[in-house]
Each structure stands twice: as C-alpha cells, then as structure tokens.
Amino acid sequence: MKRNSKIVTKLGIALLVAATIFVSCDKEFIIKTNSVANLIVVNSLFTGQEKLSVTVTKNMHPQKTQEVIELKEAKVSLFENNVFIEELTYEKTPADSIGKFISNTTPVPGIVYKIVAETTEDDIPQKASSQSELPQKVEIVSDTAIWLKWITEEDSAFSLRFYFEIEFNDPPGNNYYYISAAAPVLKLDTTNNIREFYTWQYAEILSGELPGHQLYINNSLLFSDATFQSKKKKITGTATMYNNVDYLFSNQDLSKLEKGNIYILDKSKLHIELHSLSKDAYNFCSSYAKRMRLQDDIYSEPIIIYSNVKNGLGIFAGENISSTDVPIKY
C-alpha cells in the first residue's frame, strides 16, 4: 500500500504558474525564441465565492531563467458582456508568493467576463486578453460517510478508510467536475490547551462510478458528465487517509513544526467538495492532470498545458464550488 503523505494545501493560481507556461521541466523542449519570449501570462481560476483576481507575469524563457517576473505596473481591466467595469488594483500580502490584481466584482453565472492586461516591456506595448464564464453551482443533495476496517492489522495501524457516497443533480448540457475528500488536521497547543485547524489531509479516492476520470491535484478525481447527462448522479467509493503523524508529515520538515504542539487527524468528519468547471477550466485541469500522470515517464511526449489567453499564455476560467461536511458513522 502507498505510504506517502496526503497533506497537500490547495493549489492557488500562483503555484500553477509554472504549469501554465509550457511543458514538463524534465524534458528538453526547444522553442524558437521569438515565438514565446516576453509574452504576458494571465492566470485566474475565478469562483463564485470571492472577488475575481488575476496574476499577471512574464513568461519564463525556456533557455534562460526559471524566475517568475511579476508585471506589477500592468494595466488590468475587467469587462462584463464586453462592457468595461473596472480597473483592477495590484496587491501583495506577506503570505503571497506572487501578487494579485484584485477586482471589486464577485462573479455570477450567466455573464461573460473578459480580462485585458496591458504592459510595456522594453518599449514594446503588449496586450493580452481572455474571457470565460462562471458555471452554475451544483449543490450536493445527499451524503454519507462510514468508517471501514482494514482487513490486515498493518493497514489499520497506519491508515483509515471510509466508504462515502454523495448525490447531485446534473444540469442540462455538457458539464465538467472534480471531486475531493479531506479531513482536518488539528494543531493542539499543549501549553495553552488550545485546539485549532492546521491543514487538510486529502484522501486517496477510489470510485467505480466515474468512468474515464483523471487524478487531479489534492488527490481529486476530474471527470465529465458524458455518461450521465442531465440525471441525478450518485458517486460512491472509498476515501483513505493516514493515521500516523510520521506519515502525515512525511513530505514536511518535522523540525519546522511548532514545538509544544501535537498534530492529529480529526476523524469525526469528511469534508467533500464538488467543483463545477467551465469548459476552459476543464481543458486546463485535464492537460495538467495528464502532465501529472506522465511526469515520471522519460519516454512520453512533452505535455502542453492548455491556455485560453489571446496574445499571451495562461488560463482565465471559472469554477463554482459546493461543499459538505459529512459526519463519519462508526
């Protein structure tokens, strides 16, 4: 059985910049310099839960530096149904690895959002643009989670396995999704007797209800409704998480964890998220999933990450998220 850590913080757009540029970094991939150098990179997977924001950077030269160069002075404009709404403001907090251009607009379904980024580099004006919509939010209508005992003592000592099922109504038309399951990891301050949320541990999901699915970030499963269009859909499967702190943090430097704290897995609930994706968002996620799948195959062809930015690179697309906290039945 696999023994790697499954704590992965949710990837933000800043962490996907490299993925949106070109291809897997461990393969030689030569591109004519004048075809890719100095392009604007616009990245945003916007949701209906927060104000729309984008990162605007300069693409990494394939034969030079791997540094991401922010275009902090860029002019970034937002349009709704081709009508100018506002100019976005650059912000960067101490927690941000890359600053963002923030709007005052929280996206809603039914509107075409367009972003235009303009900059002048080396006295050469550039303008990149993209547009997309926010899909309808698909609510989870029922859910269940039941603890399952492993067959062997070795498995039960290191991991927990849960049977789960969720149900939702698939809207008319072509729809795209990914689903994840996680449990909270809690930090216990033994000095002050305080318990607080620390991070999510994302479960390994096994399900036979999603033919043709792909493994995506945070152990999620990426799929379309091609086999169940416009019907009520029930997804069943198992979610496996790791019970031992050594495995919980096997990809982290244990010396950096705060002393005097104990880190434990909250076994009382599963947090399940269903992400409804626009077609552009699905194409991006699908190309990234393929890159993840083939990154260790030295004989595979380089994977080009999907981009929908005109005169530039990157992804500008919408996703809508529904979630539920499912009490685990023992």
- Mean residue pLDDT of the chain comes to 84
Domains and their CATH numbers in the chain: 13-135+305-318 (2.60.40), 140-275 (no CATH)
Q: What is the model's pLDDT at position 95?
A: 85
Does residue 248 register a pLDDT over 80?
no
How far is residue 277's CA from residue 177's CA, in Å, rounded to a whole number?
Answer: 6
Q: Give the confidence band of 273 by pLDDT, cuts at 50, 70, 90.
A: very high
Task: For 52-77, write each residue's pLDDT tens digit.
Answer: 999 999 875 544 455 778 999 999 99
Task: For 157-211, write each residue's pLDDT tens digit.
Answer: 788 899 999 999 999 999 999 999 999 988 887 777 788 998 899 999 999 999 8
What is the pTM (predicted TM-score) of this model? Answer: 0.82
